Structures are given as structure tokens and as C-alpha cells.
């Protein structure tokens, strides 16, 4: 389990009612993707589902600024690393088991790939689009 003190952005989740979170959370992947595509990506990223929820809430509150985007990216990178380290620590006797090392390698790859995707220019465009939707709905 991850210590709440190392999870960044969790306060944004607590500011919402459960019904609001259900509306905001759309699984992993951009809003423009088909639901099936997001389902597949989410199934690949099950370890990081809490991080995905925080990320969706942060995008829902997008202010469209570079500073806000960088903060969201920083939270994502910190949180994926915290979840990874909590579930697959390096210094453990489990490292003697091949299966553990393979699972750890898989989740390391998922974490690194998602960190690249979340900081991409496409993600930045999605951040701006979320801010535009927010102001249009206000």
C-alpha cells in the first residue's frame, strides 16, 4: 500500500462527491479514444488505476496553463513511481523469484511508457482542450 503522504494530488479527489468522480473518471487514455480502447489500456495499467483517477480529476480542473500541466505531469510521475515502489520494491527477497522479477520489469515498462505519454505534446493539447471545455461549460 502507498503512504498517503507520498501521493500527490489526492486532495483534488477528496474535493468531489463520489457521483462527480464517476462522471469524471473515464479510465486510461484520451477522451477522444473509443471506450474499448480505453478499456484495453486500463486493463494493461491496473496497478496504476488510483493514479489514473487523480489524473482525470486534475485534467477535469485544467486551467490550460503550462504550470498547471507541468504540475499534473509531476504528480503523475511521482504517483506512478510511488505505487510501483510500494508494490515492487527492489530490495526484497522476492527478487530471488523469476516471476517477481518479470512482473516488476513489466510494471517498470508500463510506468516508463505512461510517463512519456503523459508528458507528450498530445497530452498538452488534451490539457488545453480540457480547459476550453471547462470554460465553455461554465
pLDDT digits (tens, 9 = 90+) for 13-34: 888 888 888 888 888 887 777 8
CA dist 61 and 86 (Å) reads 28
- Give the pLDDT band of residue 93 (cuts 50, 70, 90): very high
* pLDDT for the residue numbered 137: 77
φ and ψ of 45, to 5 deg: -110, 25
Span 34-77, pLDDT tens digits: 888 888 888 888 999 999 899 989 988 889 999 999 999 999 99
Nearest partner of 76 among 63, 57, 93, 94, judged by Cα: 57
Dump pLDDT digits (tens) for 75-84: 999 999 999 9
- Is residue 41 within 8 A of residue 29, CB to CB? The reply is yes
Q: Is 16 exposed, middle or buried (0-12, 13-18, 19+ CB in 10 A)?
A: middle
For residue 13, give the C-alpha cell. Answer: 479527489
Exposure class string for 41-70: b at 16+ Cβ within 10 A, else e: bbeebebbebbbbbbbbbbbbbeeeeebbe
Cell numbers placing 47: 496497478
Amino acid at each position: 500500500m502507498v503512504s498517503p503522504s507520498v501521493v500527490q494530488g489526492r486532495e483534488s479527489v477528496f474535493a468531489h462527491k463520489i457521483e462527480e468522480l464517476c462522471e469524471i473518471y473515464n479510465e486510461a487514455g484520451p477522451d477522444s479514444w473509443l471506450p474499448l480502447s480505453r478499456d484495453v489500456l486500463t486493463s494493461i495499467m491496473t496497478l496504476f488505476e488510483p493514479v489514473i483517477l487523480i489524473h482525470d480529476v486534475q485534467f477535469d480542473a485544467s486551467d490550460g496553463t503550462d504550470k498547471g500541466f507541468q504540475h499534473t505531469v509531476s504528480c503523475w510521475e511521482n504517483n506512478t513511481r510511488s505505487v510501483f515502489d510500494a508494490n515492487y520494491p527492489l530490495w526484497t527477497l522476492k527478487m530471488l523469484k523469476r516471476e517477481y522479477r518479470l512482473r516488476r520489469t513489466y510494471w517498470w515498462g508500463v510506468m516508463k511508457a505512461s510517463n512519456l505519454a503523459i508528458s507528450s505534446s498530445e497530452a498538452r493539447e488534451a490539457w488545453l482542450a480540457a480547459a476550453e471545455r471547462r470554460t465553455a461549460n461554465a
